[in-house]
Amino acid sequence: MNTLQWAKEMDQQDPLNKYREEFYIDNNKIYFDGNSLGLLSKRAESALYSVMEAWRTYGIDGWTEGKQPWFYLAESLGNRMRSLVGADEGEVVVSGSTTVNMHQLVSTFYQPREGKTKILADHLNFPSDIYALKSQIALKNLDDKEHLIQVESRDGYTLHDEDIVNEMTEDVALIVLPSILYRSGQVLNMERLTTEAHKRGILIGFDLSHSIGAIPHELSKWDVDFAFWCNYKHLNGGPGSTGGYYVNKRHFAKVPGLAGWFSSDKSKQFDMKHELEPASDAGAYQIGTPNLLSMAPIIGSLAMFEEVGMGAIREKSLKLTGYLMSLIETELGDYHFTICNPREDDSRGGHILLQHNEAARICKALKEAGVIPDFRSPSGIRLAPVALYNTFTEVYHCVEILKDIMKNETYKKFENKRGVVA
């Protein structure tokens, strides 16, 4: 396993290896940052051009004419995305962005009432989610110090199901958690947490930013109330790509917290009345005109996920990250790295997390040597070998490069400080 030969054989046997050619890859680099920004594929690029072409050809009529009439794209793309999250017809829409969709859904689902006023979140989530929750609490004239509960982590990297369940007290109205923690890559047990929340009459939603396109989901089967995500990480929709959300059909009649004319029933939208008649499905939680040019690449990118299926993507992803961890253990034993992601397949996502006191400058040295990692303050190195475009050979070379950097101490020529975007 510790030979280049073995890695090359794995690549030859890999049923997904032909998809690498579909992406724009710089062969002088090893791109392991697809969990922050996925790479551009030729299909995503041509989908963008075809929306541009519809604009050129049809002008305003592009809303209803052409291959992908813009007026229905949020819903039609959402329906195509159902297989990635395990949703039923009408439950998924491509719209907004992670944080905007979160605001929409929390403003819709968070209805504090006597004795049930709190939101339960966690200490490890991405800051934007916590900022959004605090401002939603403030908008209800409540104090987040009292009404936002954040589950503590025992080790600073992961959460225990029992600790989350223990915080599901009677005064909790809503729970919002990540599906996969953005630092450690831990996969939370969404099914169990949903069951436990519902037993206590609490609504629960998940941020799927790090899990969409990385692991399979069964949101409808698990009976999750709502979810939201971005499409620029594992889904390769491009920088600032339009996000997505899921609303369980049980909740279709819920009045959107943040209404706009795109919340409308589509057949009534252009009646231009001042009384909103919301769409009868998850379409009701859109706000305004969709960002078409940021949605277009998803049309092409999604086609690859549909062809391959999440099962095969997850299988290869686990093999790549498993290989990476085993090489790190056998090759880098002398250099004080700690693998901080969970080790069991069921609870680890699409990336691994290495902890090292010199992480910031090790990342700079990796970048200089052509490996693109992702530094996460204060001392984390995330590495994401992605199923659709990375290879076992790249994993092998990445560890060899990292070993050279540690052996020759080339990281020492950099400052141990993060850049502005890191």
Ligand X SMILES: *Cc1c(COP(=O)(O)O)cnc(C)c1O
User: Which is nearest to 314 in space by CA: 220, 381, 386?
Assistant: 386
Instruction: Kindly state whether residue 337 participates in binding ligand X, applying the rule CB under 6 A.
Output: no
Give every strand in the sheet of 352-355, ordered side by side: 338-339, 352-355, 380-383, 374-376
Between 71 and 126, name the residue whose CB sits nearer to ligand X.
Answer: 126
Question: In whole angstroms, how large is the CA radius of gyration of the chain?
Answer: 22
Between 99 and 107, name the residue whose CB sits nearer to ligand X.
Answer: 99
The annotation status of 127 as a binding-site residue, yes or no, is yes
CB 41 to ligand X: min, Å: 20
The annotation status of 61 as a binding-site residue, yes or no, is no
The annotation status of 414 as a binding-site residue, yes or no, is no
The annotation status of 393 as a binding-site residue, yes or no, is no
Q: Which residues in 59-118 contact ligand X (CB under 6 A)?
A: 97-99
User: Out of 68, 209, 263, 317, which residue is the one contacting ligand X (CB under 6 A)?
Assistant: 209
Between 128 and 326, name the residue whose CB sits nearer to ligand X.
Answer: 128
As separate numbers, helices (DSSP H) first and strands (DSSP E) second, the chain gives 13, 13
> Distances in Å between the alpha carbon of 186 and those of 31, 213, 305?
21, 15, 22
Instruction: Kindly state whether residue 241 participates in binding ligand X, applying the rule CB under 6 A.
Output: no
Between 208 and 406, name the residue whose CB sits nearer to ligand X.
Answer: 208
Q: Which stretch binds ligand X (CB under 6 A): 63-71, 135-143, 168-176, 206-214?
A: 206-214
Instruction: Kindly state whether residue 207 participates in binding ligand X, applying the rule CB under 6 A.
Output: yes
The annotation status of 99 as a binding-site residue, yes or no, is yes
CB contact at 8 A, 264 and 288: no
By rule CB under 6 A, what string of x and - marks binding of each residue 220-239 to ligand X?
----------x---------
Please provide residue 94's backbone torsions phi and psi, each rounded to the nearest 5 degrees: -95, 115
The annotation status of 289 as a binding-site residue, yes or no, is yes
CB 393 to ligand X: min, Å: 28
Q: Which residues in 158-187 contact ligand X (CB under 6 A)?
A: 178, 182
Instruction: Kindly state whether residue 126 participates in binding ligand X, applying the rule CB under 6 A.
Output: yes
Please provide residue 83's backbone torsions phi and psi, each rounded to the nearest 5 degrees: -65, -25
User: Out of 22, 122, 129, 394, which residue is the one contacting ligand X (CB under 6 A)?
Assistant: 129
Q: Which stretch binds ligand X (CB under 6 A): 193-201, 204-212, 250-258, 399-407?
A: 204-212
User: Which is nearest to 264 in space by CA: 82, 66, 60, 74?
Assistant: 74
> Distances in Å between the alpha carbon of 147 and those of 106, 134, 140, 159, 350?
14, 9, 11, 20, 33
Between 294 and 321, name the residue whose CB sits nearer to ligand X.
Answer: 294
CB 93 to ligand X: min, Å: 16
In degrees, rounded to 5, the angle at the alpha carbon of residue 397 between the alpha carbons of residues 392 and 399 is: 100
CA distance 1 to 329: 12
The annotation status of 57 as a binding-site residue, yes or no, is no
Between 90 and 350, name the residue whose CB sits nearer to ligand X.
Answer: 350
Name residues whose C-beta falls within 8 Å of residue 264's C-beta, 6 or more positions apart in sequence.
Answer: 276, 277, 278, 279
Give every strand in the sheet of 148-151, ordered side by side: 92-94, 244-247, 226-229, 203-207, 172-178, 118-122, 148-151
> Taking the CB of residue 326, how many other CB atoms lie within 10 A of it?
14
The annotation status of 242 as a binding-site residue, yes or no, is no
Instruction: Kindly state whether residue 136 participates in binding ligand X, applying the rule CB under 6 A.
Output: no
The annotation status of 98 as a binding-site residue, yes or no, is yes
Between 103 and 361, name the residue whose CB sits nearer to ligand X.
Answer: 103
Binding-residue total with ligand X (CB under 6 A): 12
CA distance 79 to 371: 36
The annotation status of 297 as a binding-site residue, yes or no, is no
Q: Which residues in 293-322 contact ligand X (CB under 6 A)?
A: none
Name the residue type at position 288: G
* DSSP-derived secondary structure for 98-131: HHHHHHHHHHHH---BTTB-EEEEESSS-HHHHH
The annotation status of 335 as a binding-site residue, yes or no, is no
User: Out of 128, 291, 347, 393, which residue is the one contacting ligand X (CB under 6 A)?
Assistant: 128
Chain residues that interact with ligand X, rule: CB under 6 A: 97-99, 126, 128-129, 178, 182, 207, 209-210, 230
**Known binding-site residue numbers:** 98-99, 126-129, 207, 210, 232, 261, 289
